Structure 1
Amino acid sequence: MLSRIDLRESTPSARELLDIVPRADVDVSHALTVVEPMLADVRERGEAALREYGERFDGVNPEHLRVPAADIEAALDTLDSAVVDALREAIVRVRAFHEATVPPAVELEVAPGAMLSQRWIPVGRVGLYVPGGLAVYPSSVVMNVVAAQAAGVESIAVTTPPQREFGGQPHPTILAACALLGIDEVYAVGGAHSIGMLAYGVEGLCDPVDVVTGPGNVYVAAAKRAVNGVVGIDSEAGPTEIAIIADDSAHARFVAADLLSQAEHDPMAGSVLITDSQELADAVETELLGLVDATTHLARTKEALSGRQSAIILTGSLEQSIQVADAYGAEHLEIHTRDADAVAARIRNAGAIFVGPYSPVPLGDYMAGSNHVLPTGGTARFASGLGAHSFLKAVSTINYSADALSAIGHKVIALANAENLPAHGQAIQARLEN
C-alpha cells in the first residue's frame, strides 16, 4: 500500500533530499486564477455575491448569513454532554498554554539616558476560518479562537460553510464550540468568498478584519495568498501530513494507527514513516493492512496511503532518519525511538513534535494544549504554527535624553553622510547645536 523509498545505500545531500521526500500535488497558483475574480466580485457586490457563491458551492442560501446569537447559544443545549465536557477540557488546556506563551514586554537602557522598549500589541480584529468538507472541526474553533483571545484580541469573527442538512446554518457542533468560547459573531459563509468578506468587509454585514487565520482547501489557501498584504494571514495551509521517525524499538501497531489517523482526513493527506529498521517497516505495513480494512473512511484512507505523498523511507541510520525528517519538515512529527527526547531535541524542522509512544498526533489535534494549526508542505523549514504570537505586533519605543543623543550624535551624522542622506545628519546636528 505505502510505496518505499530506499536510502540505505545512498547519502543524498540536504538539497537532494528536498526532491526525494514525498509531497502532495497542490497547485495554489492555478487556484489563484479561479479565486481572484471571486474576491473582486465580493469586494464589489458584497452580500449578493456571497449568496450567489454559497448557492453555487454549498447548495444553500441561508436566511441569515450572520447566524443569530440565539441560534449559537441554542446549539450548545443540543450538544452531547460528553462532547461539551471534552471541549471544555480542551479549552482549559489550550488557553493555559497559549497564555503562557505570550511574549513579555522588554525594557532596556542601552546607555545612560538611552531607553528602548518593546511591547506586544494585539491586532484589533481577526477573522477565523473553520473548514467544512469531509469532517466537522469544533477543535479548529478552539485552536483559532483561544489563541486570539490569549493574545488579547477584542473583536473576533468566525466564518464556516453553511450546511444544507441544517437549513443553511453551520454545523451545530461548530456553533456550540463558539458558544462555549463566548463568540457571538459567526457567519454561514465558506470557501474563498468568505476570505474576501473578512478581508474587504461587506457593508451592513461584516466589518473588515486585520488578520485571517485557519486552515481550508486549496481555494481557501489561494484566497489567503491573494489578500495577504490587505490583511495578515497565518499561512497557506495544505493537506495534512504526519511523519514518524522510528527505530526497531517502536511499537508497530502504534505507528500504523498513527499513520492511519492522518490518512483518514483527506485523500491528499500524507503519511510518511522514516525508519532504519526493515523489520519495523514490514511489521507496520502488516498492521496497516488490518487497520485499513476496518476503518470507517476506507476509500479516502486507501487513496491517501497509496498516493505519491505517502511512503515508507528506509534509511541507513538514525542520523539519516533525522536528516530526512528535517528535509521533509512535517506538519506533525512523531518520535518512536530509544531516547526519544534526545532525538526530538535534534529536530530543526517540524510544525509540532510528538515525543514517545504515548504522545500521538490526535492528542495534539484535540487536547494536549498546543495548537493544531501548523505549517504544511515543508513550510515548517521557515514557518511556525498558529499561536498567540500570530495575533500580536511587536512595537518598539525609543526615548533618548539630550545627553544620550549628544554622546552618539556625531556617529549618526557620519553614517548619514556615508549613505548620502545629509538631511538625516542635519536633523541630528540641529539638536546638538541647541
Structure 2
Amino acid sequence: MKNSWKRFWLGGLVLGVSAIALAGCGNKSDDQSASSDTNSSQVKGDIKLWVDTEHIAAIKGQVSKFEKANPDVKVKIKTGSSADALKDVSKDPEKAADVFMMPHDQIGQMAEAGLLYPVGKKQVATIKKNNVDSAIQGVTWKNKVYGYPYGIESQVLYYNKSKLSENDVKSWDSLTQKGKLGANFAENGANYIFAPLFMSNGDVLYGENGEDLKGTNFNNQNGVEVLSWIAKQKSNPGVVQTNAAALANLQSGKIDAFLSGPWSKNDVKKALGDKMAVAAYPTVNFGSGEKQMKAFLGVKVYGVNQQTKSPLASMALANYLSNEKTQEIEFKKNGVVPSNKRAQEATNVKTDAVAKSVMAMSDNDHSVVMPKLPEMTTFWPPMDSLINDVYKGKINATQYQAKLDKFVSDNAKKTK
C-alpha cells in the first residue's frame, strides 16, 4: 500500500477545522472504554468494516474466523481509504464504519473530535505487551490508547548492489562519493523525507513526546547546520534531484540509490532485479561528526468509531485484525511489516530485506514517530518551502536564523 498517511498530510490540510468542530461529541470516559473488556458472550451486533482495497483478500479469512468464534456478530466488509479516514468518518460518524483502517498520525485530530473510541484497559495491556514501542507510541494520545496497531512503515534506502557495497551506503558521504543518490530536495514532498534531518541533529518537533505545540526548537545552531548541509547538496555531484522519475532513473543507471518506503519494493525489484539491495538510512555529518539520519515512522492502525452501536464487538474485531496471526497474513499478502514482536520474529519476515530494514529503522535512533497533533497539518507547506528554497539558493546563509525563527514561531500557533 502506498504510504497513506503521507497522502493525508500533503492533501488534507483543510480538514482540521471541520474535524475539530465535531469535538462536541465528546470522548468516552475511562469507565466506558473499560467496558470493552467485558466477557466475550456479550460481543454481538452488525459491524461495518472499512479497509483499503488491497487488504480485503488478506483479511477475509480472518473475518470469517472471527465471525465463527463470535456467532452473534456479522461483519460487512466495505472498501475504504485509510488515508481519508478522518475526512470520511467526519462526514457522518453515525453512518461511517464501526471499524476502519487509518494512519496513526490522524489519531490526535480524531480523538479531539470525538471520533475514536478509547481502547479498553485489558486490550491496552495486550497491545503494550505484544507490540514494539514505536507502535505503542503511535496509537497513544494524551496518555490514552486510541487504536490497534497492525504494522509499521518508514523510509529505507534502496540501492543497486552492483554499484554500491554495504559499507558504501553506511554514510551519506561515502554513498554520494561512490555512487549517485536520487533525492528530492527541490519539489513538493521534500518535507516528508528531509524534515527529520533536524531531529537527526538533536532537535525536537513538538517536544520530546510530539504533543507539545510550542516544543519545536529548530531555530538553534543545530537547525542552522541542517540548512547549511541542505544547501551544500545542490553542488554535491553524487546527489541527483529526482522525484517522480526516481524508479526510471534507477533502472537506467542515472542513479544508484534512492530513499523510499516498503510501498516501492515491487517497483524497485522490477527496476533492478537481483541487483536490488536495501538498507537502513546512512549517517550524516552536519559539521560536528556523524549523526544517524532519521526518518518519520508511521503506524498502521485499526480505529473504532466512537459512534458505533456495537462497541464491544467493534473492539473485539479491531483487536482480532491486529493480532499476531493477522499481521503474519498481512505481511505475506501485502508486505505490511508487523508491529507485533512475535510476528517480527517469523523467518519470512526476518529474512526479507525490506522488512529487516524497516524494523532496523523503527527504533528511536533511526526514526521519529510521526507527531499526532492536529497542527501537524500546517507543518508541511512551510517546511517544504524552507527546504526547497534553501536547496535552490533562494535563501542565503545570513537568513537561516531568521527563517528558522519565523518557522518555529508560526509552527507554535494553534490551528483555528
Per the TM superposition, whether the score is higher than 0.5 is no
Larger Rg: 1
Q: Which structure has more RCO (C-alpha within 8 Å, separation ≥ 6)?
A: 2
TM category, shorter: under 0.3
* TM-score scaled by length of structure 2: 0.25
